Amino acid sequence: MTVLRIPDLDGKVYLITGASTGIGAGVARAFAAQGVRVGIHYNASAEAAKDVARSIEQMGGEGFLVGGDVADHKQVVSVVQQTAEHFGRLDGLINNAGSMLGRVPTLESEEDHGRAVVDLNSHSVVWACLAAYPWLRKNRGVIINTTSIAARNGGGGGAVLYAAAKGFVSTFTKGFAKEVVNDGIRVNAVSPGTIRTLFHERFSSEAQMNSMVSTIPMGRAGVVEDCVGAFLFLASDALSGYITGQIIEVNGGQLMP
């Protein structure tokens, strides 16, 4: 299969959080195929992250495994620093790590659960951006956040806190883009809809998936490969150099804002 080449990505360094499985793993492989040197972040899924690293090495790419819990401020900073110091630079940050942490109705949510959802999905993005900022400023870098269709529709059953946390990510993307634009840093986001990954295997029944798919004009749930093009587009200055503060919806028409 012929791979579309995006020349200005070759040799760049990107840290991708949550790169061991799902969309993050797909993005890591796609970026490596463009010659990007990839920081492959993982937390609990060490073996899966090693598989991603091996697949990148097999295609002749370069990956760096870096573990840590992004819901912890000190560990986020360490993940960024380790990656940047390993490669000697950082050209891009993709904040992809996140999880619903279970379908829990808001009225049944305990304080610890709510805090964990916000720390993982919201605070981690801020912490990573601040840690990466000095490195990205040197190279007029790029930040791409992963938000969700849930940020626009409030989420499904038991996912309201997750949806609100992703709404934070969407708003932060726009605001932070304004704050760093004079440093030459572009900040955008990709908003996946219903994508078949471990996320939905863990948190959605087949009946719930069928219900969601019934609302998608394209008639199917998305797959990881449907998402990676949006990340590549936003990473390339040649393709999206005049785009910042934007959110690309990847949802098969499920939401048309």
Which residues are designated catalytic?
162
Task: Using alpha carbons, list the distances in angstroms from residue 184 to 241, 244, 254.
Answer: 10, 10, 33
Residues 6+ apart with CB under 8 A from 153: 163, 255
Do 88 and 131 touch, CB atoms closer than 8 A?
no
Q: How many CB atoms lie within 10 A of CB 250?
A: 19
Q: Write out the two tokens for 2.
A: 């012929």
DSSP SS3 for 85: helix
CA distance 81 to 166: 25
The owner of tokens 């951006």 is: 129
- 111-118 and 160-180 helices, crossing angle to 10°: 30
Q: Which runs of consecutive H residues, i.e. helices, occur in the chain?
A: 22-33, 46-58, 73-87, 111-118, 124-139, 150-153, 160-180, 198-203, 206-213, 224-235, 237-240
CA distance 189 to 172: 10
